[in-house]
Amino acid sequence: MNFFRTLSLAAAFAASSFSFAQDAKPADRYSVIRCGTLLDIAGTPAKKNATLVVKNGVVDRVVEGLGPIDLAKEQASGANVQEIDLRDKFVLPGLIDCHVHLTFEFNKESRLRSITESECDSAIRGVLAAKKTVEAGFTTVRDLGGESHAVFALRHGVVRGDIVGPRIVAAGKAISVSGGHADPSNGWRDDVYPQPGPEAGVADGPDECRKAVRLQIKNGADVIKITATGGVLSLSSAGLAKHFTDDEIQALVDTTHSMGRKIAAHAHGTDGINAVLRAGIDSVEHGTYMDEESIRLFKAGKTWLVPTLLASATVVKNAKIPGFYHEFVARKALEAGPVRMQRFKIAVKEGVRVAFGTDSGVSPHGENWMEFPLMVEGGMTPSECLVAATINAASLLGLEKEIGTLEPGKSADLIAVDGDPTADVNTLKDVKFVMRAGGVVKK
């Protein structure tokens, strides 16, 4: 067991957001939350008039009705009890986004920033993105790529309570081949940006791939992200097809699993999607050019699809603005964007397992909810979308025991909206109340 992971994850998932300086055992903290409607488990019927009791950041019990909750004994022994009135709201588990880039937000300036700004700047930018994200109702995110130390520092800042943000499961730097989607030196002269090696997540050959994974984990990665194929936003004309060879992919997957982590693959081209599925990848991100074989492999294995429909919608929109992207990028965006929805519809019809993910950072942070109407357009019901953004996402993150539902023993991560999101996902645009690990983030 890696010490760093033990430290960061245990602290992130066990601790409530309350901190105490005293040595004495802190008083128990209760929240009694009155819910007009409570969807404690997505995919099951919502309960009218229910009360949720939270103790020290964890769901203690769900009680029918809005009657009094007797905590007199607990109060007599010093417990703090707060009442939260959400009687006119629809309450549901905090949402989970399996694909964001908190330290990054793409715009016309971002290319130059990669050589003019430091990793510290990325971390500071991430602080604002983290706040916007949790206030939008996303209480957990998986950050799938950014400068490692910036992302890890952000994660630690949330755990310590220094900054407001979601629980962060972090990959740090994505692993790429030289010249591939996550080679940050693409498009720069060698003396401006020297070719990075496995220490910086750029690897060629199975040995370098193993080393890149091991170094990422040593530095604090909770999960590994690889760019199995070319990508739309990289400054490269190297297409969207498979970049790592089969033996490199197997080395990446096996090394990651042997160190107790999950591995996510960015994949657009059919050959790359099918290669990572055969190698036992945990999630395919984007999955643009899925074919029949991809769908067969998805259904035969345990891999999740994280569709990121919002990313394609965003790049197609931006590619039409002259000069917004480099010409290579605009061409790739206009080519691949429309295909994603078309193939996604087939995947949904065929029953491929979907976990929610937006690729926010490609789109502005805090607009993560916009993925929901796109998923509905792709053929999912609102209820299936909510399952994808709670139970399924928790399972992909390996956190199904901690988050994803509001059952007793789970972290008190919950949100409230007006209206009924199981009937209309647009109600998720305006999240009125957010609690994360028992701490009120927004009200």
Instruction: Determine the Cα–Cα distance for residues 142 and 233; give it in Å rounded to an integer.
Output: 20
159 vs 309 by CB, closer to Zn ion: 309
Radius of gyration of the chain (CA): 22
Report the relative pairing of strands 167-170 and 223-227 from DSSP bridges: unpaired
| Residue 176 near residue 148, CB atoms below 8 Å | no
Nearer to Zn ion by Cβ, of 357 and 404: the residue is 357
| Count of residues that bind Zn ion according to CB under 5 A | 1
Per CB under 5 A, 248 contacts Zn ion? no
222 binds Zn ion (CB under 5 A): no
**Residue 58: CB minimum distance to Zn ion, A:** 32
- Least separation in angstroms between CB 406 and Zn ion: 29
Q: Please tell me whether residue 40 binds Zn ion under the rule CB under 5 A.
A: no
Q: For residue 425, give the nearest of 378, 391, 392, 359 by alpha carbon.
A: 378
Decide if residue 208 touches Zn ion (CB under 5 A).
Answer: no
Which position among 183, 208, 282, 359 is part of the footprint of Zn ion (CB under 5 A)? 359
Q: To the nearest whole angstrom, how small is the minimum distance from the Cβ of residue 439 to Zn ion?
A: 28
Closest CB 357 distance from Zn ion, rounded Å? 8
- Interface with Zn ion, residue 143, by CB under 5 A: no
Q: How far apart are CA 98 and CA 167, in angstroms?
A: 11
Sheet holding 58-64, edge to edge: 58-64, 47-55, 29-38, 80-93, 414-417, 433-436, 439-442
Q: How far is the CB of 324 from Zn ion (least distance, A)?
A: 18
Nearer to Zn ion, 204 or 359 (CB): 359
Is 198:204 a contact under the CB 8 Å cutoff? no
Nearer to Zn ion, 306 or 415 (CB): 306
Cα 210 to Cα 212: distance, rounded to the nearest angstrom = 6
What is the layout of strands, in order, in the sheet containing 95-100?
Answer: 95-100, 138-143, 167-170
Q: Distance between CA 344 and CA 146 in Å, rounded? A: 26
Smallest distance from Zn ion to CB 3, Å: 28
Q: 442 in helix, strand or coil?
A: strand
Tokens of 175: 């692993």
Using rule CB under 5 A, residue 97 touches Zn ion: no
Instruction: Decide if residue 105 touches Zn ion (CB under 5 A).
Output: no
Nearer to Zn ion, 361 or 404 (CB): 361
Stretch that binds Zn ion, among 244-252, 329-337, 354-362, 420-428 (CB under 5 A): 354-362
Which residue is nearest to Zn ion, using beta carbons?
A: 359
147 is a contact residue toward Zn ion (CB under 5 A): no
Query: Which residue's CB is nearer to Zn ion, number 142 or number 210?
Result: 142
> Interface with Zn ion by CB under 5 A: which residues?
359
